[in-house]
């Protein structure tokens, strides 16, 4: 239903004048058909078109008076007394106009004799007739017209708000990614620099893997969601780079249970893994261990990273960039549909991410 109204209002916005003309033609045709059943044998299309066409003039004036002047200019701006005064005065003048058009134009053209007792002064002062006969029939349509316009305006406001919210979220995500990527590149280039100092044969392989990572980040992560298979390849390349930096003392176990190639937000997994290496293998002088578990189902995604680390109270927070950045991205992309649990003891640090994809 919302889609139907959106299509109608989009057409009205693109063809504003034509849509208004079609609306009033439809009102005229409906009024003529109502007259046909009301007048019975006395009905003629000529008089019905002329009478309802003339009556359409005050209806049209009332509709645009309410929708484009009184309500937006006074009522919405909390000038309620001016809005009420304008409505009363406008209603009276419009009802008088309608009565004049019927008595002085439509009825003489139809061949009806002029009522000698209905003078101009009587038309102006016969308030009960103006109110009961003309006000309800004129302003019932005017209120319908105003309701349609207000509904259209509200949908446009909501659409504009959603667009602005989406643009804001996209801008924030881009900002967060610009914070993440240089952070990751800084660590990786340090690794390659350490290899190059010793003329290690793994240097060329490290540069090739870094090239694949950059290609993925620059050209395949421009959308909100990416296939999880691409993220898995990214993690494997990153792990290979990190393993080149260490000798056999580093143990990495990466377990993947990928039932479906679901789509997730890009680079969020890399933040967790990078944090594990930076604060696990990077600071551990013993035998660091990093365990990674990934499970991708149709409606659920689970990712768990556990790393050993050496407790250093003076270092303060575990990460000043990666994990806070990750939390902001998750709040933007999966509001209310994710959980991020972070825990640590004396020697183990664990980050577990669950995303509800249903």
189 part of a folded domain: no
40-85 pLDDT, tens digit each: 666 667 777 877 888 889 999 999 888 888 888 888 878 888 888 8
Comparing 96-110, 223-237, 278-292, the range with the smallest average pLDDT is 278-292
- Which DSSP state fits 294? E
CA distance 5 to 158: 13
Higher pLDDT among residues 357 and 311, named by residue: 357
Task: Say yes or no: 9 and 156 in one domain.
Answer: yes
Cα angle 187, 188, 192 (rounded to 5 degrees) comes to 120
Q: Is 323 a residue whose pLDDT tops 90?
A: no
In which band, very low, low, confident or very high, does the pLDDT at 318 lie, cut at 50, 70 and 90? very low
210: CATH: 3.30.565.10
The pLDDT score that the predictor gives to residue 168 is 66
The pLDDT score that the predictor gives to residue 316 is 47
- Which DSSP state fits 274? H
264 part of a folded domain: yes
Task: Say yes or no: 119 and 17 in one domain.
Answer: yes
Comparing 86-100, 106-120, 225-239, the range with the smallest average pLDDT is 106-120
> Where does residue 77 rank: exposed (0-12), middle (13-18), buried (19+ CB within 10 A)?
exposed
The pLDDT score that the predictor gives to residue 112 is 63
**DSSP codes of every residue in 211-254:** HHHHHHHHHS--SS-EEHHHHHHHHHHHHHHHHHHS-TT-EEEE
The pLDDT score that the predictor gives to residue 192 is 82
The pLDDT score that the predictor gives to residue 200 is 76
177 part of a folded domain: no
Q: Which residue bears the tokens 């504009």?
A: 160
Q: What range does the domain containing 25 cover? A: 2-162
Task: Say yes or no: 118 and 244 in one domain.
Answer: no
Q: What percent of the chain has pLDDT over 70?
A: 81
Task: Say yes or no: 213 and 351 in one domain.
Answer: yes
In which band, very low, low, confident or very high, does the pLDDT at 39 lie, cut at 50, 70 and 90? low
Longest CA–CA separation in the chain, Å = 116
Task: Say yes or no: 107 and 243 in one domain.
Answer: no
pLDDT (mean) for 130-152: 87
Task: Say yes or no: 274 and 214 in one domain.
Answer: yes
CA distance 118 to 22: 36
Task: Say yes or no: 211 and 322 in one domain.
Answer: yes
Task: Say yes or no: 227 and 86 in one domain.
Answer: no
Q: Is 179 a residue whose pLDDT tops 60?
A: no
Q: Is 302 a residue whose pLDDT tops 90?
A: yes
- Per the prediction, the chain carries an average pLDDT of 80
The two tokens of residue 197 are 């100092």
Q: Is 164 a residue whose pLDDT tops 50?
A: yes
Q: Is 312 a residue whose pLDDT tops 80?
A: no
The pLDDT score that the predictor gives to residue 111 is 64
Task: Say yes or no: 346 and 215 in one domain.
Answer: yes
pLDDT (mean) for 18-26: 85
Under 8 Å between Cβ of 268 and 330: yes
The pLDDT score that the predictor gives to residue 320 is 45
Task: Say yes or no: 158 and 205 in one domain.
Answer: no
The pLDDT score that the predictor gives to residue 322 is 61
CA distance 181 to 126: 79
Under 8 Å between Cβ of 310 and 285: yes
Give the end of a domain, one of 162, 193, 221: 162
Task: Say yes or no: 156 and 210 in one domain.
Answer: no
Give the total number of structural domains in the chain: 2
């Amino acid at each position: 239903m919302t889609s139907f109204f959106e299509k109608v209002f989009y057409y009205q916005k693109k063809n504003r004048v034509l849509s208004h003309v079609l609306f009033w033609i439809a009102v005229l045709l409906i009024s003529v058909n109502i007259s046909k059943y009301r007048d019975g044998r006395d009905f003629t299309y000529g008089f019905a078109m002329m009478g309802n066409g003339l009556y359409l003039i005050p209806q049209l004036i009332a509709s645009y008076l309410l929708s484009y002047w009184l309500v937006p200019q006074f009522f919405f701006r909390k000038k309620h007394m001016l809005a009420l005064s304008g409505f009363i005065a406008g209603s009276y003048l419009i009802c008088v106009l309608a009565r004049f058009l019927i008595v002085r134009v439509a009825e003489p053209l139809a061949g009806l004799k002029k009522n000698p007792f209905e003078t101009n002064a009587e038309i102006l002062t016969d308030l009960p007739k103006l109110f009961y006969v003309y006000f309800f029939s004129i302003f019932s349509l005017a209120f319908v017209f105003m309701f349609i316009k207000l509904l259209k305006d509200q949908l446009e406001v909501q659409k504009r708000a959603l667009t602005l919210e989406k643009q804001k979220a996209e801008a924030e995500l881009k900002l967060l990614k610009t914070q993440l990527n240089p952070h990751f590149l800084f660590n990786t280039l340090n690794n390659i620099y350490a290899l190059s100092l010793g003329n290690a044969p793994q240097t060329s392989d490290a540069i090739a893997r870094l090239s694949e990572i950059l290609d993925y980040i620059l050209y395949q992560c421009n959308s909100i969601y990416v296939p999880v298979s691409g993220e898995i390849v990214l993690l494997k390349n990153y792990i290979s780079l990190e393993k080149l930096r260490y000798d056999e003392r580093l143990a990495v176990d990466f377990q993947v249970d990928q039932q479906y190639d679901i789509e997730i937000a890009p680079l969020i997994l890399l933040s967790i893994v990078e944090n594990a290496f930076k604060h696990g293998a990077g600071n551990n002088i013993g035998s660091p261990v990093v365990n990674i578990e990934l499970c991708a189902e149709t409606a659920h995604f689970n990712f768990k990273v556990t790393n050993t680390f050496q407790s250093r109270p003076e270092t303060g927070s575990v990460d000043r960039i990666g994990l806070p950045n990750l939390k902001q991205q998750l709040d933007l992309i999966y509001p209310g549909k994710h959980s991020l649990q972070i825990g640590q003891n004396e020697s183990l640090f664990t980050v577990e991410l669950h995303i509800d994809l249903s």
